[in-house]
Structure 1
Amino acid sequence: MFRPEDILYEDNHLLVVNKHAGDLVQPDPSGESALEDQIKAFLKRRDDKPGEVFLGVVHRIDRPVSGAVLFAKTSKALVRLNEMIRRGEIGKTYWAVTERMPGKTEDTLVHYIVRDGKSNRSRAYDRPVKEGKEARLEYTVLGSGERYHLLGIRLLTGRHHQIRCQLARIGCPIRGDLKYGAARSLPGGGISLHSRTLEFVHPVRREPVRITAPVPAEDRLWVFFEETCGGKND
């Protein structure tokens, strides 16, 4: 559930929230409470706003994923941010904790992803396939613990479950991600994938904006990696 202290950045046009693993960004057919509605209700109370509160979802992250999510508080900002997303002008960096070490300490992964709507999962192929969409990301190994490894990831495309299925394809499933081959689940159903930084030019003020989302404080492994690797690839 959203808490006011989850706000990482706010001005008259934008709002960035540090989402908890397990939270929905937008309402879905389940009818469960979603972050979008929770934030609207909070802004209405806090700012004593009459009528409907405007809040536009600029991008989404999967339910079991934590980290920075960007919202627009004005229609002008939403239109401009959507165009920036389309042009690839909003930089997104993720942190992922994997069960295995990749074969290279850094690399660019290129796969062709096919989404299966019935099972709500995607499959990554090494070569072009029918209905496959090209997926590209860059990763760097930032550190390792006794059993797990921290990767910094820069998304170059935005495909369904892209990071999860691409890392699984190279034999490095994300900690807790049973859907993509992890050995065991995590309490609460989350996975160790975190939207770490957002970087872009403000759509109205035209100033550079860079936001870093702290990792989940209740997870000791995340805290270990933030303490030992926090200055890398942020």
Structure 2
Amino acid sequence: MQHVKPLPGYLVQRYHGWKATAYQENRGWYRRLATEGQRPRAMVISCCDSRVHVTSIFGADSGEFFIHRNIANLVPPYELDGDHHGTSATVEYAVTVLKVAHLIVLGHSQCGGVKGCIDMCMGNAPELESKESFVGRWMEILRPKFELVSKIEDASEQERQLEKQSVVASLENLMTFPFVETAVKTDELSLHGLWTDIGEGGLECYDPASGKFLPV
């Protein structure tokens, strides 16, 4: 592989800093994780956005969360079509093998994927409409929810509401997976929908009774 380059120097320095401090201080814990395997209590599905730092938000340690990240924290509906489904495979492993007790979908403010979906739905993003756009095809998962926010005139509020609907869409799609539905109905698994405000550090939780996101 001639195109693969050495790791950038600043990352090498950061690694050695971590190995000399955080790792050395918790070496026993890391070795225990390695020998005993992982037993995370929760799975978190969040956006790839570099500003969303799941473990920091909850003060989590290594081994606590089974984390999957993708564009706009979306879960596709259950389908057996023979194609590659990274998100679906991760959900399956978390629920059927790791037996997580909680499955959290975490959305966030200023989500670029959601903004792209709005542009696409309003006809302002022909590049995303192309069959060659992986992002565009992925955001088709969220397209049906756009109708719920299409009448909102304030662009920021419209975006914020669709960000929250991306969480709802994923929760709805999770329940189309037979093994998720079974685990939920037998109280072996609970689903949770969250939305975080990056700038303010706020966290809101979806309340199914009211259909709203309420401050935690």
TM above 0.5, yes or no, is no
Larger radius of gyration: 2
Q: Which has the higher strand share?
A: 1
